[in-house]
Structure 1
Amino acid sequence: MKIPRIALAAYGMAIVVVLLDQISKAWIISGLQLQEIGRVPVIRPILNFSWVENTGVSFGLFSGGEARWGLSIFSIIVSIALGWWALKSQRRLLIAAIGLVMGGAIGNAIDRVRFGYVVDFIDFSGTGVFPWVFNVADSAITIGVVLLILDTLLSERAAKVGPAAEKS
């Protein structure tokens, strides 16, 4: 089976997200030793690096250690489904979205399997607007979902404009 070039772009983006996520977490765990320190101000009071052991999904939703394996398996199944979808996709925005979500899901699944929780550390709670602590994988998932929605809206719009343009 020949993998389309555009699908390889999604897989490549997923690999980049996983690498950035795992490298940043390794730095936080070992290099910065945030687990021992707890919190490091980066840009006072807006941005801090804070240690959070997230047993749930993005932004701490569905927290609880009992969800570890279920969430890990779910993340892997979603990544496989997205990888299959990438084989069928032709739109660049959709491919970018798939790659981001797939990479984020795999990055967080790695943490769940290794540690029993996801390492979250990016903390904008000092703004008073955004109280959650997150990581690179969470960011990739969020941006990917926004791109999926945008792709859907743009595709629907193009489908409506296409037939109307043909009638004129």
Structure 2
Amino acid sequence: MVSNVASPEVDIVKSSRTALSWLWLVIIVIVLDLFTKYQASSLLAYGVPHPQLAIFDLTLLHNTGAAFSFLASAGGWQRWLFALIAIAVSGMLLVWMARTPREQHWLGAGLALVLGGALGNLYDRVVHGYVVDFISLHYNGYYFPAFNLADTAITIGAGLLIIDMLWSSDNQNKSK
């Protein structure tokens, strides 16, 4: 008689064959992000630029909104809305990683980077009520909104997801 119930050993083997094997990258992103935010908060005066290069300053800023300070002046309710969205998206990313074969490296790494960045910013939002930003890029009087390593990980992760989408569709079309 054959049982359809999977043993715990089979579940472990299955999880090691999924993109969940990229969880180490999630942890690295979170640790580096929180460390650099701590350093910026400890060493930089709020709002005072510290020039590093002609186009790059370290400037401590607090963002109570979302990307590009969206809803930053909404009165405080946005903190919990963005936290709930981050929790929901993080859950979806974990499920997606669990359903993604380990061999899809671009997709797995991209999902891990987005998840790590989302969790890094979620920590700030829940604990501080704002996200710590400190990287300021500018050129000829034009300033890009300040950001942090979590934002950088999310952006790179999104780029990897786009690369995976474009390349995997090419590979699927060639195999047909």
Q: Secondary structure at the match of 2:72?
A: coil
Tell me, yes or no, if structure 1 residue 28 matches structure 2 residue 40: yes
Match of 1:99 among 112, 115, 120: 112
Q: How far off is 1:5 after superposition?
A: 4.6
- Pairwise CA RMSD: 1.7
Contact 1:14 / 1:99 at 8 angstroms: preserved in 2?
yes
* CA distance, structure 1, for counterparts of residue 150 and residue 21 of structure 2: 18
Residue of structure 1 equivalent to 2:171? 158
Residue of structure 1 equivalent to 2:5? none
Contact 1:11 / 1:83 at 8 angstroms: preserved in 2?
no
> Aligned letter for 2:24?
G
Q: Secondary structure at the match of 2:175?
A: helix
Tell me, yes or no, if structure 1 residue 118 matches structure 2 residue 131: yes
Residue of structure 1 equivalent to 2:70? 61
Query: How much identity, in percent, do the aligned residues show?
Result: 37
Structure 2 gap ranges (5+): 1-10
Alpha-carbon displacement from aligned partner over 1:92-125 (angstroms, at most 9, x marks no partner)? 1000000000000000000001111100110012
- Stretch of structure 1 that moved more, 1-10 or 68-77: 1-10
* CA distance, structure 2, for counterparts of residue 92 and residue 129 of structure 1: 37
Structure 1 gap ranges (5+): 164-168
> Aligned letter for 1:82?
L
TM-score, length-scaled by structure 1: 0.87
